[in-house]
Amino acid sequence: MKRPWYTWTVVCLVCALMAWTCITYFYHLVVPLYLEGELISALATLLALLTAIVAISYSYNLCIKTDPGNIPSSWALKEGHTSNNISSESLNRRHQRQFIETDRNGAVRICRKCRVYKPDRSHHCSKCNKCVLKMDHHCIWFNNCIGFHNYKYFMIFLLYTLVSLTVYLLTIGRRALDAFLTKPTDPKFNAFGVNLFVNYLFMMMIELGVLIFLLYHIKLILFGTTTLESLEKSDKLNMQYDGNPYDLGYYGNWIAVFGKKSSYWFLPVSSVIGDGTHFHTLNE
């Protein structure tokens, strides 16, 4: 579904912030190092800047463009079917699998807006106006839902941003401090210095936010859960499961999101296991 133009405002703001920081880094570190005759340092910082631009913009674009997970057409609600007249047993037989989540009455979960049976862990997003497989949350920073197919990209984006901002804060820190300590009466005081100091403060706050967010999601992954699942009550789960049925242990939970190939874990390539409609449990 095409999203209205105004929902892209935050994405434009993020792009503007990235551009501002890249220009600040270039003019306040790369250029001065070159002018000071530190050619190797200037080249190294330029390389770090270009790497960060490619890594962050590529993973950001993946989060925005990747469909988080549409419900397959085979899950469309048949004519006349409601959750009351189709048992979870018959749906289990039809899809040859055991469903874990039911509604409060123990019936199959359906979405009346999308006219589909809802696979386990899927939810309807009111912003995207569709059901999303293994929905984690709707994110205004990407103007997209974070779900089964783009959750790993989301984590990679947070990781790349954290690493890039750490390099930024460490390498330009001394110059930002000099700019801060320059008094308005000093002849060296100018708008460029103020720009550096303000940008540095901004990036410090963003670094802290990204770090907290990344740690929170690492915890969710290790416990085999999602943002929505950690917030909602578990009364829609079958009573046969005690606790979180999707918890496969730290390693099992990790590879369910990042895949078995460790060389792919930190690369912006899809390596998630499964199709998003069925999830392994320890009982299987």
Task: Just list the catalytic residues.
Answer: 139
CB of 34 to Zn ion, least distance (A): 45
Pick one of 110, 131, 133, 220: the residue that binds Zn ion (CB under 5 A): 131
CB of 253 to Zn ion, least distance (A): 24
Pick one of 124, 175, 278, 280: the residue that binds Zn ion (CB under 5 A): 124
Q: Does residue number 114 form part of the binding site for Zn ion (CB under 5 A)?
A: yes
- Minimum CB distance to Zn ion smaller for 46 or for 140: 140
CB of 129 to Zn ion, least distance (A): 8
- Minimum CB distance to Zn ion smaller for 22 or for 128: 128
Site string for Zn ion, 139-178 (x = CB under 5 A): ------x---------------------------------
- Minimum CB distance to Zn ion smaller for 147 or for 224: 147
Among 50-58, 130-138, 196-204, 231-239, the segment contacting Zn ion (CB under 5 A): 130-138
Find out whether 169 and 204 touch, Cβ atoms under 8 Å: yes
- Minimum CB distance to Zn ion smaller for 68 or for 245: 68
Find out whether 108 and 91 touch, Cβ atoms under 8 Å: yes
> Rounded distance, CA 62 to CA 207, Å?
21
Q: Does residue number 133 form part of the binding site for Zn ion (CB under 5 A)?
A: no
Among 88-96, 133-141, 167-175, 239-247, the segment contacting Zn ion (CB under 5 A): 133-141
Q: How many CB atoms lie within 10 A of CB 47?
A: 11
Q: Does residue number 97 form part of the binding site for Zn ion (CB under 5 A)?
A: no
Chain-centroid distance of CA 130 in Å reads 19
CB of 75 to Zn ion, least distance (A): 11
Size of the chain, expressed as the number of residues it contains? 284
CB of 64 to Zn ion, least distance (A): 12
> Rounded distance, CA 83 to CA 112, Å?
10
Pick one of 121, 138, 149, 152: the residue that binds Zn ion (CB under 5 A): 138
Cβ neighbours of residue 13 closer than 8 Å, sequence gap 6 or more: none
Pick one of 55, 63, 111, 196: the residue that binds Zn ion (CB under 5 A): 111
- Minimum CB distance to Zn ion smaller for 28 or for 118: 118
Among 107-115, 168-176, 177-185, 229-237, the segment contacting Zn ion (CB under 5 A): 107-115
Among 24-32, 45-53, 106-114, 230-238, the segment contacting Zn ion (CB under 5 A): 106-114
Positions that interact with Zn ion (CB under 5 A)? 111, 113-114, 124-125, 127-128, 131, 138, 145
